[in-house]
Every structure is written in structure tokens, then in C-alpha cells.
């Protein structure tokens, strides 16, 4: 099976690449940092993959990468659109530039991947796509305004596309992790409930994809807590989220 993974140089993307390589699949890795990508490729056991450096915010480059992979290896069977970024933003520091950057990577970067893959997969009548989002997309959380907004957009996008793709024989999965120990979450300066390792996250994601699940969410306790929070009346919702605020 040919598996293309974006954001594959570290964190969940790297753990997924290592997981699938160990199962004997051909893994095609993409990320912006070429040195980190080369190191990720070298870590695969067995060495069953190839690196395709890529900035997902470049739509033409994404389309060219998909075409190059399929020209060299045949059809992509599974694409995991994992590339993303995160930065906490306090209200006093909010700028439209910060919001645009978050959307460019986490939302439009994923859209570029979908735009390159969907016509090919629908024409073949098969294929699997997994889109990385987050439980932070369930509701707006303090200090995560730009991140939660981008991930919420991914949720609505995938919910809208899934029925048509399913009719065409294409499986779309939405991945909603909680806190996973990665270089991105290492930036957090607060306790992260139900934190799990990247390897465990990769195993849960791979299992959910294999089972054909639309939403792959974990850990379940955190996911359900945030779903509950999102459905509370706003007076109670804001009373609880204000408790999450920290001193400047």
C-alpha cells in the first residue's frame, strides 16, 4: 500500500510513518524541513519510503508532489494530511496576520491536499484520506482562538465532503486528537490532561482508519468533556472558560 503523510518529519506524522513502514507499506513522507525529513526517512524500519519535501501552503507544489508520487509509485492508497502548526494567542496579542498564518497551514494546506487527491480518488472509485484536526475544533478555548477556528473549519469541511466521497467509494476520516506529546505541545506552559505519546496516538489513528471510522477521537474522556462544554448555554460556558485564564 502506498501511504502519503504530510507533516511527517516529527510528532504524530513521524510516528505514523514509522508505524506503517514497520507493517511493510511504502511510506511517502512530506514536510518543509528537508534535514528533519531526511532524518525521519532514515528512522524507518525497514527503510521502505521516500521523502518529498513540501510546503503545504503552496497549492501548485502540493499538486506537483501528488503527481510525482503517483508517477513514481502508482496510485496513493491512503493520504494522511497531517501537516499543521500551533501557537497560543492572547487577546492582547491577536492580529489578523496570526490568524491568516494558522489558516494557511492548518486549513488551506489541508484543502490543497484534498484538491489534489479528490479528483484522482473519485476517478478511481477508491482511496482513503485522513484529515488531521483536533478536539480544540469542538469549541473556542482561551489562548487558542486562531487554532480552534482553523480546526473547526476542518471539521465542517470534512463533514460536508464525506457523504459525496463515500458514494464515490472514497473514505474520508477526521482525526481529532487531544494532547499528544509532540514538539508543538511542548510549547504549552500549562498542565495537559490525558496527555499521551505520539506512538500511542499513531496506533489509535491507524486502527480507526483501518476500521473505516469517520471520526477518530482520543482520548475519549477529553473529547466528551469538550463536546459537553461546547453545548452548554453561553453564560455557563463563559463562566467555565474564564476559569482557564492565567495571569498575564
Which residues carry out catalysis? 147
Which residues have CB under 8 Å from 177's CB, separation 6+? Answer: 12, 132, 134, 135, 201, 205, 217, 218
Peptide bond before residue 46 is cis, with ω within 30 degrees of 0: yes
The C-alpha cell at 151 is: 480546526
Q: Which helix (H) or strand (E) holds 199?
A: helix 198-210
SS (H, E, C) 40-91: HHHCCCCCCEEECCCCCCCHHHHHHHHHHHHHHHCCCCEEEECCCCCCCECH
Q: Which of 4, 10, 11, 49 is nearest to 30 (CA)?
A: 4
- Cα–Cα distance between 67 and 55 in angstroms, integer? 15
SS (H, E, C) 142-189: CCEHHHHHHHHHHHHHHHHHHHHHHHCCCEEEEEEECCEECCCHHHCC
Amino acid at each position: 500500500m502506498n501511504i502519503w503523510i504530510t507533516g511527517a518529519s516529527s510528532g504524530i506524522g513521524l510516528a505514523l510513518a514509522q508505524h506503517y513502514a514497520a507493517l511493510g507499506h511504502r511510506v511517502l513522507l512530506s514536510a518543509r524541513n528537508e534535514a528533519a525529513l531526511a532524518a525521519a526517512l532514515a528512522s524507518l524500519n525497514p527503510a521502505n519510503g521516500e521523502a518529498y519535501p513540501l510546503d503545504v501552503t503552496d497549492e501548485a507544489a502540493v499538486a506537483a508532489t501528488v503527481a510525482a508520487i503517483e508517477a513514481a509509485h502508482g496510485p496513493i492508497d491512503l493520504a494522511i494530511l497531517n501537516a499543521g502548526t500551533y501557537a497560543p494567542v492572547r487577546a492582547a496579542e491577536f492580529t489578523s496576520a496570526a490568524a491568516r498564518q494558522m489558516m494557511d497551514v492548518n486549513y488551506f494546506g489541508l484543502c490543497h491536499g484534498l484538491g489534489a487527491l479528490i479528483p484522482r480518488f473519485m476517478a478511481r472509485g477508491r482511496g482513503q484520506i485522513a484529515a488531521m484536526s483536533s478536539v480544540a475544533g469542538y469549541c473556542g478555548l482561551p489562548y487558542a482562538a486562531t487554532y480552534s477556528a482553523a480546526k473547526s473549519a476542518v471539521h465542517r469541511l470534512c463533514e460536508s465532503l464525506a457523504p459525496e466521497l463515500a458514494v464515490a467509494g472514497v473514505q474520508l476520516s477526521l482525526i481529532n486528537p487531544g494532547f499528544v506529546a509532540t514538539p508543538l505541545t511542548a510549547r504549552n506552559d500549562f498542565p495537559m490532561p490525558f496527555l499521551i505519546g505520539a506512538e500511542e496516538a499513531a496506533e489509535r489513528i491507524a486502527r480507526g482508519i483501518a476500521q473505516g471510522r469517520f471520526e477518530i477521537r482520543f482520548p475519549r474522556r477529553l473529547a466528551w468533556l469538550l463536546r459537553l462544554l461546547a453545548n452548554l448555554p453561553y453564560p455557563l460556558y463563559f463562566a467555565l472558560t474564564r476559569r482557564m485564564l492565567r495571569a498575564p
